[in-house]
Structure 1
């Protein structure tokens, strides 16, 4: 399924800022999980951060 959405540049920037903050949270959680030797959580949080980074990379060029 594909979703089409029309946003202003400001709205897209707000989404990018929120995604970046969310990604930073996942990166921090992965670091904490790594420190606790919780491999499953490291994998989960790292994958979430990677997926968010991929989405940011798709959106960023549209607003620059």
Structure 2
């Protein structure tokens, strides 16, 4: 699908499609590979190639399609 670049100092990521499943933080300027975009409640989350999930909010990430 593409990649995302983290725009903030620390951005939570999750081990499942659940906003309460926090497992770590991505650092500013990290580039992560996205495989899909999924709606979780009223917001969107990206599934990463690693199997982890991260918010799809554009104020935190910059998405670039393949």
What TM-score, normalized by structure 1, do the two folds share?
A: 0.21
Q: Judging by fraction of residues, say which structure has more helix.
A: 1
Q: Judging by fraction of residues, say which structure has more strand.
A: 2
Larger CA Rg, structure 1 vs 2: 1
